[in-house]
């Protein structure tokens, strides 16, 4: 995925950690291995590599992506060639 993730709505669809399932909110930060998702109850840090996410793009389209495909620094992922 070559899209900027910060600001998108995200939902954790699957995770090796059952306590993370269903976390839903806005991505406020991203590192190489983690997404920081802001919810009404506070922020959650979710590992990319062991989770599957549903992202809502600005146009309303929903895209499901395996987090392992996102594991890299954000600036590397955005400018990476296909």
CATH of the domain at 44: 2.30.30.210
User: Using one digit for the tens of pLDDT, what is the confidence trace for 9-42?
Assistant: 999 999 999 999 999 999 999 999 999 999 999 9
Q: Is 53 part of any domain? A: yes
Q: Is 33 part of any domain? A: yes
Helix (H, G, I), strand (E, B) or coil at 19: helix
Mean pLDDT, the chain, whole residue set: 91
Q: What is the mean pLDDT of the segment spanning 38-51?
A: 96
Q: Is 38 part of any domain? A: yes
Q: Is 4 part of any domain? A: no
- Give residue 45's domain range: 9-79
- Residue of 1, 51, 42, 48 whose CA lies nearest to 22: 51
Going by pLDDT thresholds of 50, 70 and 90, the confidence category of residue 62 is very high
Q: Is 3 part of any domain? A: no
β-partners of residue 25 are 10
Number of folded domains that form the chain: 1
Q: Is 2 part of any domain? A: no
Within 1-82, residue ranges assigned H as helices are 74-79
Q: Is 1 part of any domain? A: no
pLDDT at residue 74 greater than cutoff 80? no
């Amino acid at each position: 995925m070559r899209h900027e993730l910060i600001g998108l709505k995200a939902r954790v669809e699957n995770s090796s950690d059952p306590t993370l399932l269903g976390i839903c909110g806005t991505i406020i930060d991203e590192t190489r291995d983690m997404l920081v998702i802001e919810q009404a109850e506070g922020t959650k840090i979710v590992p990319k590599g062991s989770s599957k996410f549903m992202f809502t793009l600005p146009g309303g389209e929903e895209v499901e992506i395996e987090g392992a495909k996102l594991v890299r620094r954000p600036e590397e992922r955005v400018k990476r060639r296909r």
